[in-house]
Amino acid sequence: MTMNGSSSPAPVEVAPPPRHRPPWPSGLQANGSLGLGVLAAIGLLVWVGVNGYKQTLLVTAATYALIALGMYVPFVLAGSLSLAYGAYASIGGYAVALISTETGLPLWFGWLIGPVIAAVAAVVLGLATRRLSGFYLVAVTLLFSEAFQNYLSNASFTGGNAGLASFRSLDVFGWHPSNEQLIIASAAVVCVVAFLLNRLRLSPWGIVVRSMREVPSAVEAAGTRVPILNLVALAMGAGIGALAGALFTQMSGSIQPNTFTLNLVFLAIFMPIIGGTGTPWGAVLGALIVVELTLNLPSLHTSGTLLVSLGVLLIMLVAPRGVLGYLDTGRKELMRALTPTKGTDG
């Protein structure tokens, strides 16, 4: 932008060579993924139909997907691995449970307040651990999960180790959604959250967060405060995790301190890795694969977790960008094979 009266010539816009321009504008990329995601969701809902077993599978998959999406922002974008997600999911679940059993407040209030409390908890934990990274952060968040689970077992208002059960059914200003409607709503929530996270990832904010992971000093130099960004990422992730807990608790009808086990949290780490870390939809795909392997394959006793662990190792060694990244590479290879090449990018 030149200023009036400046003597320097207006800068000439040089069009960059075509192959440096991103293949799709970011908005289109996000919308395109959403379109594919919604198509897949509709396909799944049709497959599920009114089969109770498949419905339960879908709800479990939606819960896992939301926890994985919750971990996506801090883990994949900001590069900090926290194992506190079981605690955040429990907060969401217990909020719904307590609102239902202890108060006369409408149930959707529990759905709102759970994520808020979880976000606050994440910020506090984030502040306490802001100097930590890698293995130390994992260990501290693991201890936090254990301490929180013990707290749930011992606090007077949480029903102790026996937990809480028999909740009211959801009532949104007089509309009582049926089971089928709730299932569709869960799939929709997952799609919406994945879409929003994808827009976020492609937005300037998302790019700053990703740069923060690689070169924090550059980000600081540009004027953004890295610690604040980190806390926002953590809060966002915790809120989504709490949403997952609220969903599962509402649909399954009970919650105990050990409902959202550490096993689940570890699986949630593996989900974006399996599906692909390039986009939040990878976390959703990873969740579907994990549910398939751990719940829908009765061949060997509990071999689901074994298959998932081995699968993760295989992917990290052979296809580190996950299934989606792998398919994307395949697409590029295909296009390259089909179009005549010029120059030296053979």
Long-range contacts of 33-40 (CB under 8 A, 24+ apart): 33/194, 33/195, 33/198, 33/279, 33/281, 34/191, 34/194, 34/195, 34/198, 36/281, 37/191, 37/194, 37/195, 37/281, 37/284, 38/191
Within 10 A of 44 (CB to CB), how many other CB atoms are there? 16
Residue 196 CB contacts under 8 Å (≥ 6 apart), including other chains: none
Task: Write the burial class of residue 46 (CB in 10 Å: 0-12 exposed, 13-18 middle, 19+ buried).
Answer: exposed
> What is the SS3 assignment for 255?
strand
Here the tokens at position 54 are 């498949």
Residue with smaller CB distance to another protein, 34 or 159: 159
Residue with smaller CB distance to another protein, 14 or 300: 300
Residue with smaller CB distance to another protein, 34 or 73: 73
Residue with smaller CB distance to another protein, 2 or 51: 51
Task: Write the burial class of residue 23 (CB in 10 Å: 0-12 exposed, 13-18 middle, 19+ buried).
Answer: exposed
Helix pair angle (85-102, 134-154), 10° resolution: 20
Residue 212 CB contacts under 8 Å (≥ 6 apart), including other chains: 78, 219, 224, 226, 229, 230
- Shortest Å distance, C-beta 14 to another protein: 25
Residue with smaller CB distance to another protein, 132 or 189: 132
φ/ψ of residue 172, rounded to 5: -100, 100
Q: Which of 305, 333, 317, 260 is nearest to 114 (CA)?
A: 260
Residue with smaller CB distance to another protein, 195 or 248: 248
- Shortest Å distance, C-beta 279 to another protein: 18
Sign of the alpha-carbon dihedral angle for 186, 82, 134, 125: positive
Residue with smaller CB distance to another protein, 34 or 294: 294
- Shortest Å distance, C-beta 203 to another protein: 23
- Shortest Å distance, C-beta 159 to another protein: 9
- Shortest Å distance, C-beta 77 to another protein: 12
Residue with smaller CB distance to another protein, 207 or 310: 310
- Shortest Å distance, C-beta 1 to another protein: 38
- Shortest Å distance, C-beta 272 to another protein: 10
- Residue 164, strand partner residues: 255
- Shortest Å distance, C-beta 182 to another protein: 14
